[in-house]
Every structure is written in structure tokens, then in C-alpha cells.
Amino acid sequence: MREEGGKRIKYIVVTGGVMSGLGKGITAASIGRILKDKGYEVVPIKIDPYINIDAGTMNPFQHGEVFVLKDGTEVDLDLGHYERFVDVELGREHNITTGVIYLSVIDKERHGEYLGQTVQIIPHITNEIKERIRSVAARSGADICIVEIGGTVGDIESMPFLEAVRQMRGEEHPDDFLLVHVTLVPTTLSGEQKTKPTQHSVKELRELGLQPDVIVCRCKERLREETKAKIAMFCNVEKEAVISAPDTDDIYKVPLLLDEEGISAYIMLRLRLLPRKHDTSWRVMVERAEHADKKVRIAIVGKYTKLEDSYISIKEALKHAAMSLGCRVEPVWVEAEDLEVLSDEKLANFFEDAEVQGILVPGGFGVRGAAGKMKAMKYARERKIPFLGLCFGFQLAVIEFARNVLGLKDASSSELDAETPHPVVTLLPEQRDVKNLGGTMRLGDYKITIKENTLAERIYERREVYERHRHRYEVNPEYIELLEQAGLIFSGSCDGRMEILELPQNGEEGHPFFFATQFHPEFKSRPGRPSPPFKAFLKAALSLTAGDCAASEE
């Protein structure tokens, strides 16, 4: 039995089998939410078996969204789920990759810390893994550490981490360690629930010396009692430890579904925990959202729309804002490249036929789709459709305005056109000599100072805010005065860098809502605390058809 910092910490390890993408991250986040509602402090850790140091250089088509933590660490999207579900702010130490572990061990070997030993997977790699998990748990001051191991059981990349977990299980007190295994229970066309994939997955786990305590079964519908009994018998767990995780239309229902299945009662029994409180705010929030009667259609014009996980934080931020306004968001996914071939008339018909009440342009990199995004911005600006631009969307809004209002037809970004005579968006000075791509952007929390009497001030209701960043380019200081003279308002800045832009709302030429940010407000949005720009954007979109927004505020 170990005590970290004089306090016994309990560990819940979440693994997965059969196939990737089953929802280990949502399961781990949901368990964290359940335990938090019982009054316990929870710290999550995500283990990613890939050799990359972080997720920063990964293609969104392959890996989904890159989530940015407050300290600027670029991580897997599951850490976004942790932050939203458990309402915590995480840092670099909460994401462990194979690359981080091996780099640390090799560095120690080069400095002679192993005193001439032959450096091996066991014990050196596994010890490094265990040490990092325990040190993060101890420094957090939490009661329970939830560790998700990415990939699936049987992957060669996961082996050192599963071996480290096997060792930890033997080193911790039996009451302080629990293994949750997430598997798939498919349903045949005839409606039969098949348990064989789960049996094989658990068999592979047991061959590695690990016996699951709880099996969470992803399934189309709740498991039948006979299916649970069969899994329990063949996988050597109690029937109460076989938990249904059926498909749902809202991930925020998952903690409630798992709780109804008895997972919290079973975990607390096995870990010998007693409820400290009974917080029902999550249930109230989900039920309110389910009964929302108003709808708002938002066009999301991006370049990775065929994989919606690329914009998962934006989807969730829209959902959070909708919850607070008593409405539902219907996202209309628009591939930016598809707009490039449309005439102005056909583009207008496209948006009118889609009945969108707002247009959002998210972040991204590179020239592909940029022209289509700017066509959507021009339409939103001229037709006075509520618009929200994020990061690259902020930069493109500057370019579109420079071209079509200021009259600089060749205006561009030095990223999109290195030869442009009017680089209204240019590379950050500190980026000009950067050779390595990983972890070198302007990343993480920065303080934004907001101008008085602006839309930004009304949205945030304060003059200073902290938001998360991920970019290499900025508005060229040489063009700021020209842009402002033409009517563009830069209402937020950080150390001389433009961070927020807006159009005037008053007068004949006023726009109901045209707002863009260099930062990513979606990363700090929470179900109970929606991002102010997203909430203001949806409120404006609702008022587009409702005359005066009749949304019920909290």
C-alpha cells in the first residue's frame, strides 16, 4: 500500500478493447463527473501510446481536434472531454505519450542516472510510467486519479503501459485500485447481442496479467439481463459489474446512463467510498437541454467537416451556449472548398436554402478552403448575418475586409501568398527563425485587454480576460490604422497584438453581430459556463428570426 504525500490516493484505470473509438474518453470523463458529484476531487490523466511528444503536429483527419491546455500543451481531444465533464484545467503533465516516456528515460541514461545498468522496458520504462502517474496524482491533491490508456488491448504500442498498470495493481492496496475495461457488444440484424468480441478482449487483457473489475459495454441498446449474465460468467466479473453504455444523442447523458446502470454504486463499494454529497446540477442541466423547444441553425464553414471530431470543441461550445439560452443548435456542416466554385447568387441561394441563422468560421491552416471561407464571411458581412470567426477565421476576416472594404484587392496573408503586396496578416516575429514545428506556435493562455464601450466589453462584461491560443500569424501592425479608418474595430489586444475584431452595431451600416477572435474561446467553454462569445453569437442568431431574442436566460 502506498501513500502519496501522506494521503492514500485511489486509482481507476480505463482500458479499451475490440476496436478504437468506442468512447473510453467519454467513459473516463463520465466516471470523473459521477465521482465529483459524490463529493470527491478527481484528477484525470490520458496516456497516448503514440511516439509523438504531443498531438500538435498530427493531421485532424487522422486524429481529430488538437486541444490546447492552459499551459500551451497540444493534446488529444479526450482531455477536452475531461475539462468539460469534470470542470478542471489541466496541464502538460496530464498527458503522457510514449515519446515523452522514452525521451525522459534516454535523457536520464545519457546523464548516467542508471549507474551503468542496461536500460530496458522493465523496469526502467515501466518505472518511469508509474512515477509520472503517481507524482501527478500526488501533486493534484485529488482523492481519485483516473487514468485512460489510449488504443486497444493487444496493440504493441500499449504493452509497456499495461505492464506498468499490472505492476501498480500489485503495489497498491486492493481497495485503492480499479480497472474498467470498455468493449463492444454488437447487435446482429436479428437483434441478438453478441458477447464474443468482449470475451476475446477480456481474454487478451487477462493474458497480460490484468483482470477487469468493471466491464463497460458499448452497445446499440441496453444489454439484456441474459447478455450481462453471460459476459459476467465468461469474463469472471460480477453481474453488477457489467455496465451497459448504449448509444445516445448527447454525450452529456452518459454520466446519467452509467449511474442508472449502477456503475457509481459498484465503484464506490469496491473502492470503499462513501458519498460526501449528492450534486444533481448535471442532471438538471441535461434535462433542461432535452426539453428546449427553440432551434437555431448555424453554418460551420471549415475544411475538415467530413470528420466532425476535428471541430468537437466548437460543437460542444455551441451546445453549452444553447443550453444557457434554452435552445438547440442544428449545425450545418459546409465544406469551404465547395463554396469557392459558387457565384455570389448561388452562394446566397445556398445559405438561404439551408435556412442558417448564423455563420461560424473555425480555425485551420493553409490555403485550401481559404477562399471559400472568405466568400462566406463576405456574405455574412453584407447580408448582416450573425458571424463568429475563430483564429484563422479572425485572420481571414481581416483579409476579406481589406480586399472588399478597404479596396486592397491583392491583400492576403504571408501564409497564403508569400508574394502579396499587402500582407495584412503576417508571421509573428518570434516565429521567423523557428525550425521545429512541434510546440512552437503561440500557445496557451494569454491576457486580453478589451477596449471600453465595445461589443467585446458587453460580451465579456469585463476589461481583461484570459483565453487560449494556437497560431503563428498576426494582424500586420502596419495596416491596423488603415483597417480601423475603414471601419473595422479591433476591440481586444495583447501586448500590441490584435486579438478581437468587430463591426459597429449602430447606424445604417451597423451589423447585428460580426465578431472574430485570434484565440480559441471554445477551449474554455463548459456545460455550466458557456463561452461568452459563443453565447452572444447564438443570442444574435436567435434574434435574427425572433425579432427580439426571447431566449430564456439563466
Residue positions annotated with a catalytic role = 391, 520, 522
Three-class secondary structure assignment of 189-252: CCCCECCHHHHHHHHHHHHCCCCCCEEEEEECCCCCHHHHHHHHHHHCCCHHHEEEEECCCCHH
- Integer-rounded Cα Rg, in Å, for the chain is 25
Find out whether 195 and 203 touch, Cβ atoms under 8 Å.
Answer: no
Residue pair 44/150 in contact by the 8 Å Cβ criterion: no
Q: For residue 162, give the nearest of 99, 102, 207, 119 by alpha carbon.
A: 207
Residue 477 CA to residue 480 CA, distance in Å, equals: 5
DSSP string, 455-521: HHHHHHSSSEEEEEEEESEEE-GGGHHHHHHTT-EEEEEETTEEEEEE---SSTT--S-EEEESS-G
Strand partners, 466: 447
Using DSSP bridges, classify how beta strands 411-413 and 473-475 pair: parallel, antiparallel or unpaired.
unpaired
CA dihedral 31, 34, 40, 43 (to 10 degrees): 30
Contacts of 233 (CB under 8 A, 6+ apart): none
